[in-house]
Structure 1
Amino acid sequence: MNIVNRLTLRHLKENKRRTLVTIIGTIISVAMVTAVATLAVSFLDLMQRGEIENSGEWHVQFNEVNASQIDELRESPLIDDLFIQKDSGFSLLEGSQQDYRPYLFIKNFSEGSFDRFPISIVEGRLPENNGEIIVSREIEAIAGVKFDIGEEIVLEIGDRYSEIEDIYGMDDTFSFRREDGENKETLENITAETFTVVGVMERPNWETPWSPGYTVISYLDEGELTPDTTVRASVIFEKLNRSFYENAEKLAEDNQISLEQVNYNRNLLMYYGVSRNEGAIGALYGISGVIITIIIIGSVALIYNAFAISVSERSRHLGMLSSVGATKRQKRNSVFFEGAVIGLISIPIGIISGIGGIAVTFTFINSIMSDIFATSEKLETVVTSGSILTACIISIITIFISTYLPARKASKISAIDAIRQTTDVKLSRKAVKTSKIVRKLFGMEAEIGLKNLKRNKRKYKVTVFSLVISIILFLSVSYFTHALEKSTGMWLADINYDIQVYLGEDLTAEDELIVEAITQLEDITEFSKIKRMSLSSWVEEEKVSDPLLEMDDGVDHEIKGPEEEYYYQITIHGFNDAYLEEYSEVIGADLARLNDPAQLGAIIIDTISYQDWDTGQFVETDSIKLQIGDTIDLYHIDWHTEDATLMETLETEVLTDIYPMGVGSRYPGTLDIIVSDQVFQELVHSSEEIQMEVSNYLYINSSDPTETHQQIDELITGSMSIYNYHEMREQDGQFMLIMSIFVYGFIVLITLISVANIFNTISTSISLRKREFAMLKSVGMTPKSFRKMIHYESIFYGIKSLLYGLPISIGIMYLMYYFIADGFSFGFDIPWGSIIIVIIAVFSIVSVTMLYSTSKVRKENIIDTLKQENI
C-alpha cells in the first residue's frame, strides 16, 4: 500500500463520525437496492405460487381436442408437459338442502392433472381408476348430504337445459335458473355411472360461489379415449417469453384447434412477466425504473456529499501532498481509494442487511397472513444470483458516481491554493449582498444568517441539494403509494361486501321476517338492503361521458328515442332507511329531500372504473356530465315492440364517486342512481310492468363470513340464494396489506437515507464553521441572537429547498402518472397531505439538526477556537 493510501486510511480513522455516517448511509442505500431486488423476486414467487394454488399450474388450455391432436401437441418442442381433463356433466344431488345448487358437477382428471391442479385431500386418497371418485367437503357442510368413504353411488349424468335462457350443455359458470320459486332447468342426454367414494377434498378454488353444482372428481384413463372423445388439454410451455401468445396461437392453428377453444392462465403468465397488456407491462417497467432511479439519486446525494466534504476538509492535506511531489493521478486515486474502502465495508454488510431485513419483514407479514387470512402460501425470501449481482453493480456505480467529481476536484488542488484555502472562500461585496427588507422584517440576526449562507455558498448549495433530494424521494414514493392504492382500487372496485343474498322479486311477509332474522345475526357488522330495477334514458351529447362518445354504437338507433341523443342503461337502487342515512352522511346528502317522494331527488354515481378490453387498460372516467339540479328522464322500454314510455323525471341532488355497499363499478353507457325507499316505491307504482321487474338483494359484511354463510343457509327458503364473496375480498385485502407494508417500509428507508444525508451535511458544515461562530461571539453576539440566527438559517434552508423540491417532485409525480396511465387511466391529482407533511418535516429536520450541531460548538472556548487554523 503506497503512502497516499495510508494517509487516506489515517484520515478516515481520524474523522470517525463522518466516516461512520458515510458507511451507514452507504449500507442503507445498498440494503435498499438489495431489498428492492429481493422483494421483487420474492413477491413474484409468492404470486406465482398463490396463483398455482388457486387455479393450477398450467399456461394454456386447448378445449375439445381429440386423441390424435393430443399426440401432435405432445410432439411439439414448445411443450414441456401436457395433461388432460374432461367435464362429464351434471347429476342431481339427492337430498340437497340448497335449491340454487341442486347438482354435482363431475370432472375427470388424468394422473398428471392431480399434481398440477390444487386438490387438497382431507380424508382418503385420490381416485386411481374410472370407477372411483372424490367428493367435496362442502357437500356435507352446505348441502347437508354426506358421502362415506367406500360408499358406492350411482350418478345419472347429463347436460343442463333451460327454456327461459339459452343454456345447454355442461357450462358450470351460470347460476341455476329459477323463476317465481320454481326450478326452470332439466337434465338431458342422461347416462348412469357407478362410482366408489375414495376420498374427501376441500372445495376446489376454481369452483365459484354461484356455481350450480358441487365439484366431484373422478379418474380419466387416457388409454381408454376413443377417437371421437374430446377433452381439455392443459399445457406447460418449455420457455416463457414475449412470443408466448403468438406461439400458442400458431400451435393451435397447426393442430386445427379453433382459437375460441384456447384459454390462457393469464394471471400466472403475468406473474412470470408474460402479458398481452403492454400498458401494464410498460407501467411496471416504468415505475420500477423511476423507483430504482430515486434510490440511486438518494444514495449518490448522500455519498457524494460525504466525499465532497471529505475533499474540502482534506484540501490543505492534499495541497501539502502536492508540494512534496504527489501527482494529480495520486490525489485523484486517493479519493477513489477512499470510496473503495467505504464500498468494501458497506456493500457486503448492506447486502446481508437488505436480505435480512426482507426476511424479518416476511416473517412479520406471514404471521399476519396466517392469523387473518389463513392462507397456506407464505412469503419466502428468494435470493438469486441476478438480484445480488444487480445490487452489487448498482452500488458500485453509485459509489463511483459519488466519488468521481470530488476526485476530479482533488486532482486539481495546487499546493499554494490549498495552503491559502483560496478555493474554499472567494468573496466579493456582491456575493454577500442581502436585501434591506430582510433586516427590516426579521432583524440583524436574519441578515447575518443569510450572509453566512451566501459566504459558505458551496456548503449551502450542498445542504439545499440534500434537502431537495429528500423532498423528491419522499413525495415520489408517497405518490407511488397513492397511485398504487388508486389503481388497485380500480382493479378491485366491484366487490365491497362479503356476502350477497338474492331475496327474489316479490317479498312476502314471511320473506321479510327471514330478512329481519338474517340482519340480526351476531357476526354481521354492516348490511344494506337494496331494491333494484333497470330503466333507460337518453342524454344530450354535451352531458355524455367521453368514452361513450368515442364508441361507435353510442347512439342507439334501434331503440326509438329522442333524435341524436345517447342511450343510457339506468339502474335504480332503493336503499333501506338506516343504510341510506349512513351513506348520506358520508357524501353530504340532504336525507330529508331524498326521502320526499314529491321531490324525486336522487344521488348520481358520476364516476366509473372499468377495464377497456381492447387495450387492457383500467380506466377511471366520468359516467355522465351532470350538475346539481339537472334532471334525468326515466323510460320503460317494451323490448318486444322497442317502444319507450316516459315514466318519471329525477332531479340530481348529489354527485359522488363513492359507491355504496352492493353497487359495483360499471361501463360507459350505464348509470347508477341511488334513491330512498319512498322514491323507489313512487317509481314502481307508476307502472304495473315495472313492479314485475324489481329484484331484492341483501349485502352483508361480517366478522366471520364463513359462519354467517352457514347461518344464512339455514334461514333462506324458496327462490332466495346466497353468494359468498369473502374469499375474493380476502385475497384483495391480503394484496393491499402486503403492498402497503412494503411501500411504507420503503418510505421508512427513504426517510433514513434523507435524514442521514441532511444530518451529515449540516453537522459537518456547522463543525467547519467553528471559527466563524467564535468570531461572531467575540464581537458581542449574545446566545439568544446566536439561536435566532441559527433559526433563520434553518428557515432559509427550508424555503430554498421547497422552492426547488416541490416543482421537481410534482414533475416526477406526473412522470410516474404517465407510466401508470399505460395500464390505469385516471386523473392526475397531487397528494396535498404528503406535501404538508414534507413542509413540516423539512423545517423540523433542519432545525433539530442545526440545533444539535450548534450545541456541540456552543461550549467551545472562543480564544482556542480562533487560534485553530483548520477545523
Structure 2
Amino acid sequence: MILRLTLKNLAAHKLRLGLTALAVVLGTAFVAGTLIFSGTTDKAFDELFAEGTQTVDVTVQGTRAFTGGTDDLAAKPVPASVLDQVRRVDGVAEARGQITGFAAIVGRDGKIVGGNGPPQMGIGWPSSLSDYTLVSGRGPAAPDEVALDSVTAQKTGYTTGDQVKAVAKGPAEPYEVVGVFKVGAKGQTGGVTYAAFEPSTAQRLLAEPGAFSGIVAKAADGVSPAELAGRVNAVVPAGFEAITAQQAADDAAGDVKELLGFLSTFLLTFGVISIFVGSFIIFNTFSMLVAQRTRDLALLRAVGASRRQVTLAVMGEALGVGLLGSIAGLLAGAGLAVGLRGLFSAVGADLPTTGLVIAPSTVVWTLTVGVAVTLVAAFFPARRAAKTPPVAALRDDVAPPVRSLRARAVAGGLLGAAGGALLATGLTGDGGDPLALVGAGALLVFLAVAMLSPLFARPVTRLLGAPLVRLFGTTARLGSGNAQRNPRRTSATAAALMIGMALIATVSVLAASMTASIDKSLDGSLGADFQVSAGGGFGPPGSFDPSVAADLAAVPGVKSATPMTYAQVRLGDQQVFAAVGDPAELAGPFGLEMESGTLAAGADEILVDAGTAAAGGWTTGSAVRAQYADGAFATIRIAGVYADNPMAGPYLLGEATHAAHYPDSRVSTVLVVKAPAADAAAVRRGLESSLAAYPNLTLQDRSDIKEQARASVGQLLTMITALLVLSIVIAILGIINTLALSVIERTREIGLLRAVGMGRRQLRRMIRYESVLISVFGALLGIAVGIGFGWAVQRALAGQGIDVLAVPAGRLGAYLAAAALVGVLAAVWPARRAARMDVLRAIATQ
C-alpha cells in the first residue's frame, strides 16, 4: 500500500517534485562531471606517458632531491662519458643520449606558439629509442634545421621547407623546417609543443656541449627493466641514478595528476556547495507539500496508517526524487566532463584524448550523494507529517503544528558558536587540517544563520517592503504581507540564495583585499622601474641566458639591470623556494631594509626576512641543516635578516651557493632601475629594442606589474564567481518552487482577491513583490555573512601578504541589485500561473 501511495503522490506532483529533482541534478552533475573528468584525464595521461616505456626500459638522470617546481632546472647534465659506461653494461642492447629543454617556435604573428600555456619543449632529434615517428620530410641534420611535432605544425600552418624562428635560452634564431613528426602512437602532445634539432645544436641550445639531459637504454632479451636499472646504477658516478622507464613515466604522470587533482578538488568543492544549497530547496519543498497535504495525511492516519507508514510514504517520494535526479545528474556530468576538456583546449591545454571513463565508484558516489542528501533533507518534513493527528481529517482549517522559535534560537546560537570556533581554529592553523576545519566551520555557520533567520525575517522584510508600499501601494503591501506571513518559509527559501551570495561576497572581499595588498606591497617594496621576465606556463618557471641582463644594462638611461631566479632548498624539514641573486645588487630594486647582519651572502649562507626568522627562532649567525636540489647536504648560516618584503619573499640565496649546487645558470627575471634623470619613455623604447630578438620575454613597468596582478586576481574572482553562479541558479529554482507551491496553497485566497476586483496584472505584481523581498532578504543575509567570512580569512592571511582589508561596496551593491532581478525573474512563471486561475473554481477550493 505504501509503495502504491508513494508512486501516486509522485505522479500527482510531477511538476513540483520535478523542480526539486532539477536541484539534485545540478548538484550531482558537478560531482559526477568532476569525477568523470578526473578519471578520464588520469587514464589519458597514463596512456600518454606509458607510450615511452614501449621503446626504452631504463633512464639515467641526475639525482633529484626534490620533485616538481624548478627541480628540472637543478638536475645535473649527464656527461657523454657516462653514455659510454652505460653502453658497456651487460644486458644493455642499445643506449643513447637524450637532450631536452625549453625551446619555443615563433608563430607567424611574432609570438611564441603556446604562449603561457603548457610547456614548450626542445629535443635533440633521436635516431633510435624514441616514440617520435616522422610523418613527412626528414629529421634535422644541420645546425639551421628543425622538425616540428604534427600538432604544432597543424596549429601554425608550418610545413616542410618553411622558414621559422625558434628561441631557447638565447635570442631567436632562424631555421628551416625539414620534417614533421608524430609523438607516440596517437600523435597526442597534451598541449606541449615540440621542436627537434640535430644533436650538437640541441646540446648548445638546451644543455651543454658534450652533455645530455639524460640517457635512455633498452634491455637485451631476458633482462628485466628493474634488473637492468640495478646493473646501470652500479656503474654510473655519484650524483646520477638509473630508474626504470615505467618509474620515470609514473613520476612524470604524477606531476600532471597532482595539478589535475588540485583542479578536481577545486571543482568538487563547488559540487558539494551546490548539493548543500539544493538541500534547502528539498527541505522547503517537502515541508510545503506536507503542509498542503495535512488533511490527506490525517485521513491516512484515520483509516489505520501508522506514523511509520506515513513517514515511509513521504520518504519514498524523496527517494524517487533523489534517485531520478542523481541518474540524470550522472548523465549531465558526462556532458560536463566533455565541456571541461573543451575549456582546456580553448586555453591552449589540449589534453590527450581517450574514451570517457565512468568508473563504478563514480556511479556509486553520485547516486549515494544525491539520494542521501535528498533523504536527509526530507526527513524532518516526513516526521512532521507522521505527527498529524487523525482528528485533523475532520477539520477544514487544519494546519500542521508549528514549534516555537525559541528552540531554533538556542540551537542556532550553539551551532553558530561551534562554527565560529572551528573557523577560528582552521584559519589560525592551531590544530588539525585547516581546510577541513574551515569547511566544517562554514557549514555550521550557514546552518546557524538558516536556523536563526526566521527570528528576523519578519522585521527585515517589513523594513525592505516599506519603500515598495509607499511607491506601489496595495499590491506591494499584500506582497510584503505574504513574505512576512510565514517567516520560516521565507527564511528557508532565502537560505539557498544566502549561501551562494555569502560565498560570492567572501571571494569578492578577499579579492579586493588581495588587490589592495598587492598595490601596497608594490608601492612599498618594488624599487625597480622595469621588470623583464619569461613566462613558464604550466611548467617550470621560464628562464633565459643571464647575458640578457648585460644587454639591458647597456641601454642608455639604465642605471642597473639585476638578474635573479628562484631555487628550491630544504631548510630543516621544510622545502622552500628562495630568490637567488646578489643580495647587495637586489637591495635597491627590492627596497631591502636590513635589520641585522649583512647583504654579503657567501657560500652556504642565506638571508631571511624578519617574520621567517621569528617563526624559526633564527637570528643572524644561526646555523640550519640544509639540503640543495642536487642532493648535497650542508649546514647553512643565516647571514642577515631583512624587514618583511613581499617582492623579495622570505628567503634570499646568494649566487655563490646557487652556482655550486644548481648547474643551470639561467635567470627568470631582470630588475631594471633607470637613472634618476633619464626619461622613462625613452628608456622603455631602448629596452624594447634590446629585447626584440627575445619574443619569449616580457617587459613591464610598475603600472604593468600592478595591472597584471590585478588581472590575475580578477580572473580568479571571475572564475570562482562563475562556478558559484550554479548555486544561484539552484536558489532561483528554490524561489520558483516556493512561489509555485505558495500559489497552490493560497488558491482560495487568490480567487477571493480576484472576486473583489484585483486584476491579473495586479496579482502578478503582488507575487513579484513577494519574490523580490525574499531574494533581497537572502542576498542581504549572504552579503553580511560573506563580509564577515572575508574579514576572517583576510586577518588569517595577513601574515602572508594580504594585510589590507578592502570591502568592494560597489560590487556588493551590484550583487544586491542582481538579487532583486533574480526575484523578478523567479516570479514570472508562478505569477502567470496565479493570474490564469479560474476565479469561481479558486473560490470553491477547500
TM-score normalised per structure 1? 0.52
Is 1:287–1:816's contact at 8 Å kept on the other side of the alignment?
Answer: no
**Worse-matched range after superposition: 104-113 or 390-399:** 104-113
Q: Distance in 2 between matches of 1:427 and 1:783?
A: 36
- SS for the counterpart of 1:771 is helix
**Worse-matched range after superposition: 498-507 or 228-237:** 498-507
Question: 1:698: Cα distance to partner?
Answer: 5.0
Name the structure 1 match of 2:30: 32
Query: One-letter code of the match for 1:759?
Result: I
Question: 1:835: Cα distance to partner?
Answer: 3.3
Name the structure 2 match of 1:838: 815
Query: One-letter code of the match for 2:812?
Result: I
Question: 1:412: Cα distance to partner?
Answer: 0.7
Is 1:60–1:235's contact at 8 Å kept on the other side of the alignment?
Answer: yes
Query: One-letter code of the match for 1:341?
Result: G
Name the structure 2 match of 1:866: 843
Name the structure 1 match of 2:282: 303
Name the structure 2 match of 1:658: none
Structure 2 vs 1, CA of residues 220 and 771 (structure 1 numbering), >3 Å: closer, same or farther?
closer
Question: 1:318: Cα distance to partner?
Answer: 0.9
Question: 1:331: Cα distance to partner?
Answer: 0.4
- SS for the counterpart of 1:311 is helix
Residues 150-208 of structure 1 show CA distances to partners (whole Å, capped at 9, x for unaligned) of xxxxxxxxxxxxxxxxxxxxxxxx989xxxxxxxxxxxxxxxxxxxxxxx956999989
Residues 750-761 of structure 1 mapped to structure 2, 5 A cutoff: 750-761=727-738
Q: Distance in 1 between matches of 2:203 and 2:517?
A: 27
Unpaired runs of at least 5, structure 1: 66-83, 92-103, 129-136, 148-173, 177-199, 240-262, 275-279, 513-531, 558-565, 570-604, 615-638, 640-661, 667-671, 685-695, 702-707, 713-721, 727-731
Residues 20-59 of structure 1 mapped to structure 2, 5 A cutoff: 20-42=18-40
Residues 834-857 of structure 1 show CA distances to partners (whole Å, capped at 9, x for unaligned) of 634532331112112224321222
Is 2:50–2:246's contact at 8 Å kept on the other side of the alignment?
Answer: no
Is 1:42–1:382's contact at 8 Å kept on the other side of the alignment?
Answer: yes
Name the structure 1 match of 2:374: 399
Query: One-letter code of the match for 1:608?
Result: M
Name the structure 2 match of 1:408: 383
Is 2:270–2:724's contact at 8 Å kept on the other side of the alignment?
Answer: no
Q: Distance in 2 between matches of 1:508 and 1:297?
A: 58
Question: 1:486: Cα distance to partner?
Answer: 12
Q: Distance in 2 between matches of 1:538 and 1:613?
A: 11
- SS for the counterpart of 1:679 is coil
Structure 2 vs 1, CA of residues 851 and 322 (structure 1 numbering), >3 Å: closer, same or farther?
same
Q: Distance in 1 between matches of 2:351 and 2:775?
A: 49
Q: Distance in 2 between matches of 1:264 and 1:484?
A: 38
Q: Distance in 1 between matches of 2:533 and 2:84?
A: 28
Aligned mate of 2:312, from 313, 329, 333? 333
- Say whether 1:351 aligns with 2:338: no
Cα RMSD, aligned residues only: 6.6
Name the structure 2 match of 1:657: none
Q: Higher helix proportion, which one? A: 2
Name the structure 1 match of 2:444: none
Q: Distance in 2 between matches of 1:478 and 1:849?
A: 25
Question: 1:284: Cα distance to partner?
Answer: 8.8
Query: One-letter code of the match for 1:412?
Result: K
Query: One-letter code of the match for 1:315?
Result: T
Question: 1:297: Cα distance to partner?
Answer: 0.9
Name the structure 2 match of 1:423: 399
Name the structure 2 match of 1:450: 480
Q: Distance in 2 between matches of 1:737 and 1:53?
A: 39
Name the structure 2 match of 1:319: 298
Q: Distance in 1 between matches of 2:552 and 2:500?
A: 61
Query: One-letter code of the match for 1:303?
Result: I
Residues 262-282 of structure 1 show CA distances to partners (whole Å, capped at 9, x for unaligned) of x999886555669xxxxx99x
Residues 522-568 of structure 1 show CA distances to partners (whole Å, capped at 9, x for unaligned) of xxxxxxxxxx97665774869x98647748888899xxxxxxxx987
- Say whether 1:771 aligns with 2:748: yes
Q: Distance in 2 between matches of 1:59 and 1:146?
A: 27
Is 1:34–1:391's contact at 8 Å kept on the other side of the alignment?
Answer: yes
TM-score normalised per structure 2? 0.54
- SS for the counterpart of 1:325 is coil
Is 2:468–2:476's contact at 8 Å kept on the other side of the alignment?
Answer: yes
Query: One-letter code of the match for 1:679?
Result: A
Query: One-letter code of the match for 1:423?
Result: A
Query: One-letter code of the match for 2:389?
Result: S
Aligned mate of 2:489, from 459, 478, 487? 459
Structure 2 vs 1, CA of residues 391 and 841 (structure 1 numbering), >3 Å: closer, same or farther?
same
Q: Distance in 1 between matches of 2:299 and 2:486?
A: 24
Structure 2 vs 1, CA of residues 486 and 44 (structure 1 numbering), >3 Å: closer, same or farther?
farther
Residues 626-705 of structure 1 mapped to structure 2, 5 A cutoff: 675=674, 678-679=677-678, 698=688
Residues 678-716 of structure 1 show CA distances to partners (whole Å, capped at 9, x for unaligned) of 4389xx9xxxxxxxxxxx965899xxxxxx8xxx4xxxx
Aligned mate of 1:385, from 343, 357, 360? 360
Q: Distance in 2 between matches of 1:744 and 1:377?
A: 28
**Worse-matched range after superposition: 815-824 or 327-336:** 815-824
Is 2:30–2:270's contact at 8 Å kept on the other side of the alignment?
Answer: no
- Say whether 1:368 aligns with 2:346: yes
Residues 193-239 of structure 1 show CA distances to partners (whole Å, capped at 9, x for unaligned) of xxxxxxx9569999896744487677769989797652632446999
Q: Distance in 1 between matches of 2:798 and 2:249?
A: 25
Q: Distance in 2 between matches of 1:546 and 1:285?
A: 36
**Worse-matched range after superposition: 762-771 or 816-825:** 816-825
**Worse-matched range after superposition: 413-422 or 52-61:** 52-61
Query: One-letter code of the match for 2:237?
Result: T
**Worse-matched range after superposition: 306-315 or 39-48:** 39-48
Aligned residues: 596
Q: Distance in 2 between matches of 1:126 and 1:494?
A: 36
Q: Distance in 2 between matches of 1:487 and 1:209?
A: 40
Is 1:471–1:806's contact at 8 Å kept on the other side of the alignment?
Answer: yes
Structure 2 vs 1, CA of residues 473 and 314 (structure 1 numbering), >3 Å: closer, same or farther?
farther
Question: 1:327: Cα distance to partner?
Answer: 0.8
Q: Distance in 1 between matches of 2:375 and 2:762?
A: 43
Q: Distance in 1 between matches of 2:514 and 2:46?
A: 20
- Say whether 1:608 aligns with 2:647: yes
Q: Higher strand proportion, which one? A: 1
Q: Distance in 2 between matches of 1:60 and 1:479?
A: 49
Q: Distance in 2 between matches of 1:486 and 1:46?
A: 41
Q: Distance in 2 between matches of 1:510 and 1:725?
A: 16
Unpaired runs of at least 5, structure 2: 65-74, 101-120, 131-137, 148-167, 171-194, 220-227, 405-454, 522-530, 537-541, 558-583, 597-607, 623-639, 657-665, 699-708
Q: Distance in 2 between matches of 1:37 and 1:745?
A: 20
Is 1:64–1:230's contact at 8 Å kept on the other side of the alignment?
Answer: no
Residues 798-853 of structure 1 show CA distances to partners (whole Å, capped at 9, x for unaligned) of 33212321233345556777999999977676566763453233111211222432
Q: Distance in 2 between matches of 1:470 and 1:754?
A: 8
Aligned mate of 1:854, from 819, 831, 844? 831
Question: 1:29: Cα distance to partner?
Answer: 2.1
- Say whether 1:17 aligns with 2:15: yes
